[in-house]
Chains A and B, each alone.
Chain A
């Protein structure tokens, strides 16, 4: 079974509008972390935002926020006031733990969503 599912292969948004990129995950580990990365056409992976499974508040980083619904196992990325430079591939990823609450830090990625921002 897929551990991370991004159901939107592509999304379009008008400049200055908000957009939500969907991510659902599957884990039986109570301790996990969720990440979103941006990959522009140049190829580098840029960290955007992080949510820990025990965090009470939804994470926010500037124009990025994470709509974390733990019971539904979803961690959607919301980008407010889209800019042309937001056009990129976006990946959702999950980090699970080892026994004892430690982690080697390895991530499981979704398939990605290509976001296109129109002027």
Chain B
């Protein structure tokens, strides 16, 4: 079974703190993603990575950065946390492939981050 593991289920941080959210997958997937989920907005893509050290901005990258030093690990960094970054963060991974292949995106359990 594919496993995507996020380091924390719940996190409480102070405004201005640097926050690291870690994600590890065990299926040798090339592509990894960070989404945030807010009520009524669905999931929105923050950043993704298609290879080690490669990263691309998603739809809402402002205030975030990412790091992918190893294939299995993808980190999301909030350089200076703000209250509007209070949200559920979901990491996912998938195999590389064509646009119509059935490459399922597998998700971690999510991290619920509160910034006070």
Q: List A residues at the B interface (Cβ < 8 Å).
A: 4, 6, 9, 29, 31-33, 35, 37, 42-45, 47, 50, 52-54, 91, 93, 95-98, 101-112
Contact = CB atoms under 8 A, between A and B. Distances in A.
B12 interface: no
B110 A95 contact: no
Contact of A102 (B44, B92, B98): B98
10 contacts: A31-B98, A32-B99, A42-B109, A47-B104, A102-B96, A102-B97, A103-B101, A105-B97, A105-B103, A109-B43
Contact of A111 (B40, B45, B100, B107): B40
B104 A50 contact: yes
Contact of B88 (A32, A43, A112): A43
A50 to B, nearest CB: 5
Given A110-B42, A111-B40, A45 B107 contact: yes
Residue among B44, B88, B99, B104 with the most chain A CB within 10 A? B99
Residue among B100, B103, B112 with the most chain A CB within 10 A? B100
Interface in B73-116: 88, 90, 92, 94-110, 112
A43 B98 CA distance: 29
A14 B100 CA distance: 35
B88 to A, nearest CB: 7
B64 interface: no
A24 B58 CA distance: 22
Contact of B99 (A4, A31, A112): A31
Nearest to B44: A109
A105 B94 contact: yes
A103 B105 contact: no
Interface in B47-62: 48, 50, 56, 58
B104 A102 contact: no
B107 A104 contact: no
